[in-house]
Amino acid sequence: MIERIFLGREWKVVPKGIVLALDMTIISVTFFLAYLIRFNLSLDFDVQMLWKQLPLVWVMFLISFLIIGSYNSLIRHTGIKDVYSIFNAVCLASIGLIVGVILNKYAQFFPNFTIPLSIIIINSMLAFIGLTVVRYFLKTVYDHLIKSNGKTSKHVLIYGAGESGIITYQTLANHSKMQVRVVGFVDNDIRKVGKLINGVRVFDKKVLTEEFILLNGISEVIFCIQNIAPKKLRDRVNELVDLPVKVKIVPPVEDWINGELKVSQIKNVQIEDLLDRPPIQIKNSKVANDFDGQVIMVTGAAGSIGSELVRQISRYTYKNLILIDQAESALYDLQQELKQSGRHNFVPIVADIRDKSNMRALIQEYKPTRFFHAAAYKHVPLMEANPYEAIKINVVGTKNIVDLSIEFGVEKFVFVSTDKAVNPTNVMGCTKRIAEMYISCRQQEGKTKFITTRFGNVLGSNGSVIPLFRKQIEKGGPLTVTHKDITRYFMTIPEASQLVLEAGAMGNGGEIFIFDMGESVKIFDLAKNMIRLSGLRYPEDIDIKITGLRPGEKLYEELLANGENTLPTYNEKIMISKVREIDYALIRSSIDELCVSNLFYRDKIIPMMKKIVPEYISNNSQFSRFDKSPTKEPVDKKEEIAN
């Protein structure tokens, strides 16, 4: 019966009227107890007078409860803020009673009526204690019944005994659906070690051994240290990854909902949290001024980089935002997201950048002044097998947009490139380098300011290794790595997009902006860390399989080509690449020839690409033969068609 009352669906949230009635009952009891205490626990007082005084006490406390709203809180979530509300309500009612009694004494509104001030003071103390104790008693009963009817509790350790750790403890304790028992806090501060917080002991980090974890049945460790540097976080996590626990983290305070931490915000530590560099912080950004009153067009707007560009751009003040993408479903999803976020002044358009006539009509109609070109094919092995598509999108498509931007007087054009354009070893990287070179050629001719940005790999982007590893872990493995020594640079999608926008604002035309991405990451180590962060063991639970380098794939990526160096900007993380001089007339002529060639004939177009980009040396690819025998005689027509 008791369980049904406390746990029944209709009683999980007790109606406010019942809480208010309960509070008024408690006040009646405490008022009577105040008289008992005042008269040495005897009934040697005028009981009839008590009954006359009680209505005034009820009225004062009722008004106070209604003003303060102390009855509005959920009893099963009673916390320190609710205690403050009770204290304020009792003080307000008691002050009201004292003032009323004193006024009546002199004005004689009700002759022969009074309440002893000692009774009011004793009652106020008893009322505060009674209202608080009853709430915590009911909360304790509810929690006990929840736990006794639920599954076995999950045991956790909270890493960090500071304010964030204490708030995390309270959040877990107040969440009735979470069957959690906090075994203890872990902290490096020797002054806290051995102390109790809410009855929970603070341990030194030396207790984090497999024996301690297994003995206490701990399944999770939650990091609650605010503003911890990525390197320190990585060191702490590395102390735990070999233990049979999941590692979770509390988000920064600024990300809490309305200043309060929610259980749903406590997430598994992501590999992004462990990047060996501080996150990009743009100070004194010029973006807001650069966008004011502008018409902005974004190609590839529904892609991983393009969509984040759109999200960030939509936060600024601009005249109009035009979204171009050929992926209908992805563009529709982005449109709905922007609508639900309350964004306005944007136009989604399904279009293909290879269709120059259509793009001319769109640019002529909307007259963009800022252009962000993020549309591209970027999957290395796929483009190695489909050079026709790589050239049509990455070179011809870019050429179309560049030419039209000059034709219609676009003020600034920002091109999203890649570190794979540096000393390319594959078709995709070479096409992006050719696009960079064509932009450099046109920069010399028109008034449009062309700006290029180069990135490393973007965490979470379409085709990135991180989502692939997560899917493989969900399926039970193995994780596939192409080479044990392969390394990559990484940055997050928001950081990449922020860099693009800032480059567009600071650029004066002709620059290639690159980003200080810190140390490169060994993919094999990244795979092991992802397995461990999932609470699994390598290789016992999930193994890693070496599959061999894919066609066109490098062991190491570069941000600068041979013969290039950098110049600083006002942001130490953003640099300008000093590109070596090229013969603009010859390069443009060669690119024009490539774009009008029959792109189905690989034995003609690949050598043309290698001529335009001499540093393009194929790696682990069928096109390596063109490096070994550049003067090889043309094959016959049948072989050309077959290729």
What is the Cα gyration radius of the chain?
Answer: 35
Residue 639 confidence (pLDDT) above 70: no
Summarised one tens digit per residue, pLDDT across range 9-23 is 444 556 778 888 899
Among 246, 412, 420, 528, which one carries the catalytic annotation?
Answer: 420
Summarised one tens digit per residue, pLDDT across range 395-452 is 999 999 999 999 999 999 999 998 899 899 999 999 999 999 999 999 877 789 999 9
Active site residue 420: yes
Q: Can you say how many angstroms the Cα of residue 50 is from the centroid of all Cα atoms in its chain?
A: 61
Distance between CA atoms of residues 215 and 227, nearest Å: 31
Q: What is the mean pLDDT of residues 377-389?
A: 92
Residue 288 confidence (pLDDT) above 80: yes
Query: Residue length, the chain?
Result: 643
Q: What does the pLDDT read at residue 148?
A: 58
Tokens at 622, concatenated: 């069928």
The helix or strand, by DSSP H or E, that contains position 55, with its residue range, turns out to be helix 47-68
Which sign does the torsion angle of CA 538, 543, 547, 550 carry? negative
Q: List domains and CATH numbers for the chain.
A: 2-148 (no CATH), 151-269 (3.40.50.720), 287-458+491-517+558-624 (3.40.50.720)
Mean pLDDT of the chain: 84
Q: What does the pLDDT read at residue 121?
A: 93
Kindly compute the dihedral angle of the four CA atoms of residues 298, 304, 307, 313, in this order, to the nearest 10 degrees.
-80
How many CB atoms are located within 10 Å of the residue 379 CB?
14
Distance between CA atoms of residues 151 and 134, nearest Å: 27
Q: What is the mean pLDDT of residues 307-321?
A: 93
Distance between CA atoms of residues 297 and 333, nearest Å: 18
Three-state DSSP class for residue 492 = strand
Summarised one tens digit per residue, pLDDT across range 78-109 is 777 788 889 999 999 999 999 988 988 888 77
